[in-house]
Structure 1
């Protein structure tokens, strides 16, 4: 049986280059970490590989994906040490990859910015295929996880079933559709200047995908025909409401549409986003949601969204050991710790949020207020850097 690993920490070395270190023998080479993190995506590719594939030991694989439904579902990324394409975490990885480019792309070397956009397009192209039969159907997974996890083999050699799992209206898939909405919306922003036509295609499909997510509310793992194949791998443990807010928030960022502003404002409490949350990952988006929306308050003076900023500040303060009130747990050596598996997923995602929030504060010449303690943006950066080191 394969050990099931969450691969989502793959994207978060992108912000390393933000530190722009001067290299010496006792410092980490962040630019090298950035390069290797982007390169890793090429090792996870499914489908027909391009001529400029740098990991030349990889070959074409998964070329029949989608044939049982008469649809092309080739492409995308394999999940971890397996050959399954789980759309829920893949969409989250896509969102985070795009967010990394949006916030820190200007600090990347031009070659690595190009490589990161290539990596982003590889997944966004696949997600476009997965929503191509909307408004009536969304594809949420390719590959039988039980058979796959019981057979360790190269993608090029796999002989396990390439089952394509679909959710048909009116059955719900709000968390997958909501996260796919976020991914396509964020990617549309990332490609806006370099490929405006593609950016518009992504945004149009994001709108359509959100309509499906919101109209048929519920968890995809509640569907009898697929729940035994999505659980216990990436079933919806945390509820689908955070993905609806997350998707709407990214649509708001991508479009500026007031309807999405009203959606995230009016549904914050009904959808449980007012709870204190000290995590951010493929299943729980509230921490990232609060940080993302807080930018509208910090830089846009949208004080009707002040509650999101207050939650973001509470989360940030819980990461500052010197502040009063409840704190997240750290190991004796200083690593952010949360009980359970996939430990580095938490350290990397939360470090990313620290850097993004520091970026928002810096642009407006603000600091974080934790009771009587004033925390400057550079402190948040140092805290994130300590985690990555």
Structure 2
């Protein structure tokens, strides 16, 4: 038995020591998007076995909807997952564009974003109208055809004020806002166009509320919005604040955090349907940047939920995410890797945010260093690339042992460039789907659904739960691979230094008790002079205060230094306390002089 164990160990050892070529994996992961393109393919198309497709999309509706991406192994263009894909690809570039540039992949990544945003702009032809799907899953899944041969129904479906879809409009607003950051310097006119559409779509989403799949019912079987639209409203607001620094969107996050669930939902998943964890991470970033202002106490609640997500991933929380025996995060059998790549991305950026802010993560089982978050994200990526009990790479074309029978129409049927013979709707099933042989076209870079809860995987074309890829599997992984390949490249690119405002305010609850059925809190507030000069004539504005306060003098609706203090020297602090049965009061600086 010992000899057998040693033999197996030695077989694994070279694989483990060799490590992974994250640069190659990054290149592959971006290349996959070119295989998913719909429309007229450009002259610089690198996936040569694909051809033009969907050239009449939108024509029956009197609108041009040519372009965009097929979501997975079929030929439908689903708006919600496509927009989420663009948001996550853009976020990857926003955080790790420098690393992509260093490896020569930034241009390809930006092309991938623009292929999506060009389509999203077409899908929003006028205010309060957004096309959310072209084709439908039922007729599409009845056929097994190359995109170039499609004979299925290509009807387009939209949302408008009479048929709202706040989740779809909110996610599309997020995608356009995030993408505007990608093109802000290289193509400012295009960035402004995206931002204009993003603002209008967010207003549409907020004003005319409703679930998109109640309006576009053909999406219910495939991309039903189980989480509703509240998460997308917060997610969209967060991205618009990131893109504009407009206080309106920060106020939206602060004022609606409780009612829309951003400060209440403690999540263990993040994906095309549920955006809370992403919004919570962005809100935590704003707080760590010193941008919280009067909403700092609310953003702290968002951050607590972001911390909860991270702790759950690490197995150090109060409710942890299941793992396979091989160590992979596991949520569901059908396309589990989508949750692994999104979680790995959030872990990676949060690690860098914490490092930038010189903070650590506090979990129920103890403090966690930022490096532990990145290390765990790396372990998940390494599992995907082959460090797993099967020694299988779940990225097609990476390594020597990867899926060969991918559930994907275009890759499983001979290229139209090699054989232009028409492949019929049902004939494709008989001739190509049922083949027990490798795909004629390698879908390089595709992340398939992945193994089950016990690390088992069956490389069979009809095993769609495990062998079908998706664009939203790849988009977040692009950022993680760029980070692993290129290092941090200076954390300041991720998190600018805190605001240099002369006066800093920090609050925390120091005690609580119950009296006559109500919970009371004692809050300590510390005001610090961060400047090199002396602060005089300090005036503080305090609202949402419902109890007594000690340590300040009140005058004319504002608060100032206590009677025993008339100035605050450089680097010094003063403390005041108050008690009430509510969350933190809103405390801000309304005036001062420097001497």
TM-score (norm 1): 0.90
Paired residues of 1:368 and 1:377 also in contact (CA < 8 A): yes
1:16-35 CA-to-partner distances (Å, cap 9, x unmatched) read xxxxxxx9961111111100
The count of aligned residue pairs is 362
Among 148, 155, 165, the alignment partner of 1:173 is 165
Secondary structure of 1:369's partner? strand
Deviations 1:177-221 (A, max 9, x none): 000000000000111111111111100010011111111101011
> Conserved in 1, the CA contact under 8 Å of 2:61 and 2:155?
no
CA distance in 1 between partners of 2:185 and 2:139 (Å) = 43
**Residue 27 of structure 2 corresponds to which residue in structure 1?**
35
**Residue correspondence of structure 1 range 117-266 to structure 2 within 5 A:** 117-135=110-128, 137-223=129-215, 226-227=216-217, 229-266=218-255
Provide the secondary structure at the position in 2 that maps to 1:146. helix
Equivalent residues of 2:348, 2:377 under 8 A apart: yes
Report the equivalent of 1:276: 266
Residue 370 (1) aligns with residue 363 (2): yes
Give the Cα separation in 2 of the matches to 1:287 and 1:265.
16
Counterparts of 2:255 and 2:329 in 1: how far apart (Å)? 33
Deviation at 1:167, TM superposition (A): 1.8
Pair 53,25 (structure 1): closer, same or farther in 2 beyond 3 Å = farther
Q: CA RMSD in A?
A: 1.5
**Corresponding residue for residue 58 of structure 2:** 66
Give, in whole Å, the separation in 1 of the partners of 2:192 and 2:32: 28
C-alpha distance in 1 between matches for 2:103 and 2:22: 16
Instruction: Give 2:332's aligned residue.
Output: 339
Moved over 6 A (4+): none
State whether residues 299 and 360 of structure 1, in contact with CA within 8 Å, keep that contact through their aligned partners in structure 2: no
Distance 1:292 1:324 in 2: 20
Structure 2 match to 1:86: 78
Q: 1:75 to 1:324 in 2, by over 3 A?
A: closer
Residue number in structure 2 paired with 1:286: 276
**Among 310, 329, 335, the residue aligned to 1:316:** 310
Unpaired segments ≥5 residues, structure 2? 1-14, 383-595
Displacement after TM superposition at 1:339 (Å): 3.0
Query: SS at the partner of 1:336?
Result: coil
Contact 1:174–1:220 (8 Å) recurs in 2: yes
Aligned-pair distance for 1:74?
0.5
Contact 1:330-1:337 within 8 A present in 2 as well: yes
- Residue of structure 1 equivalent to 2:421: none
Distance 1:66 1:299 in 2: 43
* Residue 353 (structure 1) aligns with: 346
Partner SS for 1:319: helix
Could you tell me whether the CA contact under 8 Å between 2:348 and 2:374 is conserved in 1?
Answer: yes
Task: Give the C-alpha shift of residue 371 in structure 1.
Answer: 4.1
Q: Which runs of 5+ in 1 are unaligned?
A: 1-22
Structure 1 pair 207–269 and aligned structure 2 pair: CA distance change class (3 A): same
Contact preservation (8 Å) 1:84, 1:142: yes
For 1:12, the equivalent position in structure 2 comes to: none
CA distance in 2, matches of 1:38, 1:202: 22
Q: Deviations over 1:260-313 (max 9, x none)?
A: 111111111111221111100000001111111110111225223111111111
In structure 2, how many angstroms separate the alpha carbons of the residues matched to 1:364 and 1:144? 47
State the 1:170 CA deviation.
2.6
Larger Rg: 2
Higher helix share: 1
1:325 alignment counterpart: 318
1:62 & 1:249 partners in 2: Cα distance? 34
Instruction: Find the aligned partners of 1:86 and 1:134 in 2 and give their Cα distance.
Output: 20
- Secondary structure of 2:18's counterpart equals coil
Counterparts of 1:39 and 1:97, CA distance in 2: 13
Measured against aligned partners, the alpha-carbon deviations of 1:126-164 in whole angstroms (never above 9, x if no partner) come to 0011112223x2100001221111101100011111111
Greater per-residue strand proportion: 2
TM-score by length of 2: 0.59
How far is 1:340 from its partner? 4.3
